[in-house]
Amino acid sequence: MMTIILSIAIIITMLTSLVIATRWRNLRCTGPLPATLFTFIAILFTSGLDVGLIMFPLVDFQTYATDSNYAFANPLAFEFGFWGFLVWAFYFLTTFYFCIVEPKLRLFEIPAVKFTNNVVIIGTCAFTGYLFLLYLPDYVTGISDWARFSLVAAVILFAALSSTHIRFIAILSVSSTWLFFALIAGIWLASGMGISGLTSSVLNIGDYFRNIHRFVLPVTDYHQFYLYWWFAWSIMIGQFVARFVGGIKTWHLLLALLVVPSIPIAIWFGVLYYYFENGIVVSDFWRLAMIVVGIIFVVNSLDSLIRLYTQNLNLTVARFGALPYVAGNWLALFSLVLLYQFTPLEIEWVGLVVIALYAAVYALVFQRRRQLASS
């Protein structure tokens, strides 16, 4: 049943994105805080991705290489398919909605919709911290539980501090994007693969595009986990980044979201895949660098989402002051991280709630279509 619900939701959202990108292709999308395209993409990239981008590939490649369910493409193609290109259409749909539709209909101000949306944001925000906690032992050998929990607590605290001003979020997003590029360059140089080695590695992604139709719906339970994860993120990321869209046409927005973030993802995965294919061990120094960049990505994700739900719920610094704001958000999120750790709570449940929210919004848009057309 979970697979059927997810499949129907994916087909509807993909078709909707296609209709929007063709029918309203020249409509200009502008948010209340328009930014340059680079700043917009940097905020989108660092807010819409998290530590999994840094930490998952080396673990995932081994799974894709040994499991017969993934035999129709190489491991790099699967990792790219789970993180790049087509799945960014979810963000396109929600970004367009919050730029064009929501200002006219204000559906997310309806109490039930608003409440559900913010529960999702807070739950997914905590899941980001939980993933970081879960995968730390794979990258820091021998790390104690005390150190793991302390580091996650510190990251959440830093994110709460960063979220106190939108300027901090923008600066951190742009800075971490450049740090990610530097990480790619450093690990590439350390491998000795050169341009030709990197090129031949990245070209393996061609398997994804040759089989792109097979990546639309869940291939395995693990792929289903990823797709539910993307759904869980989609509304809140669209709601946050829509405010930074700088007046670009709809079809340019789709192209930017599908292609631009996929380029550094492809290069990053291509570098790591070269290590995997050639049995090269990532040195302790570069593992530490990956952890540092991963931490910054977690902070970027968390501070964006904290900023979003606190504004939605009017739990702002201006209302409560900096100390109660930071302390309250830290306590709430760290408690939820522990809830993920010590209970069977799963991100798929959050994804199901988001799909239900999509269904409600689709129904409300259809109901109010005349209001939308006349405004």
pLDDT grade for 292, boundaries at 50, 70 and 90: confident
pTM of the model: 0.88
Higher pLDDT, residue 346 or 7: 7
Residue 21 pLDDT > 80: yes
What is the arithmetic mean of pLDDT over 64-83? 94
Q: Are 90 and 277 in contact (CB under 8 A)?
A: no
Domain ranges of the chain: 2-374
pLDDT computed for residue 119 by the predictor: 87
Statement: residue 33 has pLDDT above 90: no
> In this predicted structure, which of 37-51, 109-123, 219-233 has the lowest mean pLDDT?
37-51
Q: Which of 31-40, 127-136, 172-181, 184-193 has the highest mean pLDDT?
A: 184-193
Q: pLDDT tens digits for 104-118?
A: 999 999 999 999 998
- pLDDT higher than 70, residue 13: yes
pLDDT exceeds 70 at position 142: yes
pLDDT tens digit sequence for 125-135: 888 788 788 87
Map residue 246 onto helix, strand or coil: strand
Instruction: Rank 180-189, 279-288, 289-298 by mean pLDDT and report only the highest.
Output: 180-189
Q: What is the mean pLDDT of residues 164-181?
A: 83
Collapse the DSSP code of 81 into the 3-class scheme (helix H, G, I; strand E, B; otherwise coil) and give the result. helix
pLDDT at 215: 93
Q: Which of 183-206 are b and which e, b meaning 16 or more Cβ less than 10 Å from the residue's Cβ?
A: bbeebbebbebeeebbeebbebbe
Q: What is the largest CA-CA distance in the chain?
A: 62
Work out the average pLDDT over 58-79.
Answer: 92
Query: Nearest-CA neighbor of 122 among 294, 335, 326, 316?
Result: 335
Confidence band, pLDDT 50/70/90 cuts, at residue 375: low
Distance CA 132, CA 341 (A): 11
The pLDDT value recorded for residue 44 is 78
Q: What is the pLDDT of residues 76-101, one digit of tens each?
A: 999 999 998 999 999 999 999 999 99
Helix (H, G, I), strand (E, B) or coil at 30: strand
- Do residues 248 and 95 make contact, with C-beta atoms less than 8 angstroms apart? no
Of the chain, the percentage scoring pLDDT greater than 90 comes to: 51
Instruction: Read off the pLDDT of residues 294-343 as tens digits, 9 standing for 90 and up.
Output: 888 888 888 888 988 998 888 889 898 989 999 999 998 999 888 877 76
Q: Between 3.10.20, 1.10.4160, 1.10.287, 1.10.150, what CATH number should domain 2-374 receive?
A: 1.10.4160
What is the full DSSP assignment across 201-230? Answer: HHGGGHHHHHTGGGGSS-SSHHHHHHHHHH
